[in-house]
Amino acid sequence: MLASVGTPAGGRRFRSLRGVALACFFVSTSLLPSGAVVAQNADQTTDSQAIAAIVNDQIISSYDLEQRVKLVMVSSGIPNTPENVSRIRGQVLRSLVDEFLQRQEAQRLNISVTQEEMDTALGRIAQRSNMTVEQIEEFLKEGGVSRSALEAQIASDIAWNRVVQQQFGGLVTVGQNEIDEVLRRLDEEADQPRYLISEILITFDSPAHAEEIAAGTQRLVEQMREGAPFEAVARQFSQSASAANGGDIGWVHASQLPDGVGDVVTNMQTGMISDPIRTMNGFYIIQVRSMQTGTGADPMRDQYSLMQVLLPLTPDAEAAAVNRRAREAQEFRSQVTSCEMAANQIRIYLSGTSSPPQQVIAGQLEPRVRQAVARVPVGGVTEPIRSERGVEMLVVCAHRPAQGEMPTREQIDDTLYEQQLSMMGRRHLRDLRRDAVVVYR
């Protein structure tokens, strides 16, 4: 499906196969900076540490599994009850096994992650969560989860994306006839309903394995219907490229969905979450967030001109300073009616700064930022966000709604490339599972 893009070697725009989510994964020091928790070799386990599984020659300890389960709970909003722990424990363990296999493959290819990359990724998570890094660390600590668990998962995620890009990026080609076929289908379906979809994909390797996965996937559906955020669960568990965006794949026609999924979607109402849908790739869970009929424009292609303003604060600022900045932010928001005014007004406050307006497409923004910007009129200011740098806000300088035009050939090329690369990544992981020696305790 669809996700956000980056640029790998060779200039091809590339979409991360799996976004960094609040999920722990313990990887070896070849991937991690010093201080991170590492997996143990089978001959290094002490009697005091129980074993949950052995993946080739590495151990997933009961502590590893306990940390991951707790992190899933605190980051997905699933209530931490014994019943819920029991329900998701099997799915969490399976995810850990997959991630250990991914780590081992990254080791084999001598792929590593720098501390700078770790810090940058953690900073993005903090910004997306409207928190500082320190606040995230305290949030995890309250849930019984160490910061090193999150850092280890981040390193694993970055490394696996590089594995797939390095091994398969140069093998994926998109033919002009494929692009022509997509354009032809879109033209034929211009008057058909379109759906704003989020997805979760859980894969399986064999029919026997499918039964176990079906049960675990149904439990995830139950948790989300009881209130767990779809976006958070997708980031934790989905094996589709769209996990990076919390499962968001944007506006699609039913025919653009995998076989069997489109038929289910056409019978769903807005806001519904489907039961698990079995396909050749695995089980899909679908959420229909909105629906429109005809050639209406995709709001994900709306164009914005945004100015970022900052009221600086140190991460360890005292409460009085934080409260003062909060008052200044609200005062600033109440007075500003244009970007020109914003650039002048922010200077009134001590060390206040503004950046030049930048042109962005709605789909390039993080979901929470996109929603915040969409609620603000031109000349207005978004709600303040506390970051490591201080109190940040966005001023909407201009907004041009998307027109109902067809996507460009380049956009279709990118999407098809991403879909093929994601499929190759899933197949590679399937092969790693097939060749691995995995023992569950």
Secondary structure class of 48 (helix, strand, coil): coil
pLDDT of residue 169: 93
Region of 307 please: left (phi>0), alpha (psi -120 to 50) or beta: beta
- The matching CATH number, chosen from 3.10.50.40, 3.40.50.720, 2.40.50.100, 2.60.120.260, for 300-400 is 3.10.50.40
**pLDDT given for residue 404 in this prediction:** 59
The predicted-structure confidence for 87-116, as pLDDT tens digits, reads as follows 888 888 988 899 899 999 999 999 998 888
Residue 207, token pair as written in the block:
């029919």
**What angle is formed at CA 183 by the lines to CA 178 and CA 402, rounded to 5 degrees?**
130
User: Phi/psi class of residue 13: alpha, beta or left (left: φ > 0; alpha: ψ in -120 to 50)?
Assistant: beta
Per-residue model confidence (pLDDT) at position 291? 83
Backbone angles phi, psi at 131, to 5 degrees: -140, 165
- In the numeric block, the tokens 């093998």 are attached to 171
Question: Distance between CA atoms of 140 and 273, rounded to whole angstroms?
Answer: 28
* CA–CA distance, 66 with 243 (Å, rounded to integer): 23
Task: Decide if 5-171 and 300-400 have a common fold.
Answer: no
Q: Please tell me the pTM assigned to this model.
A: 0.63
Query: Angle formed by the axes of helices 230-237 and 82-108, to 10°?
Result: 40
Which architecture characterizes domain 5-171 according to CATH? Orthogonal Bundle (1.10)
Q: Which tokens sit at 392?
A: 């940040």
How do the domains of the chain map onto residue ranges?
5-171, 300-400
> What residues of the chain score a pLDDT lower than 70?
1-49, 293-298, 403-406
Cα 111 to Cα 157, 258, 369: the distances in Å are 12, 33, 32
Amino acid at 306: L
Measuring CA to CA, which residue among 172, 219, 281 is closest to residue 76? 219
Predicted confidence at residue 403, as pLDDT, reads 62
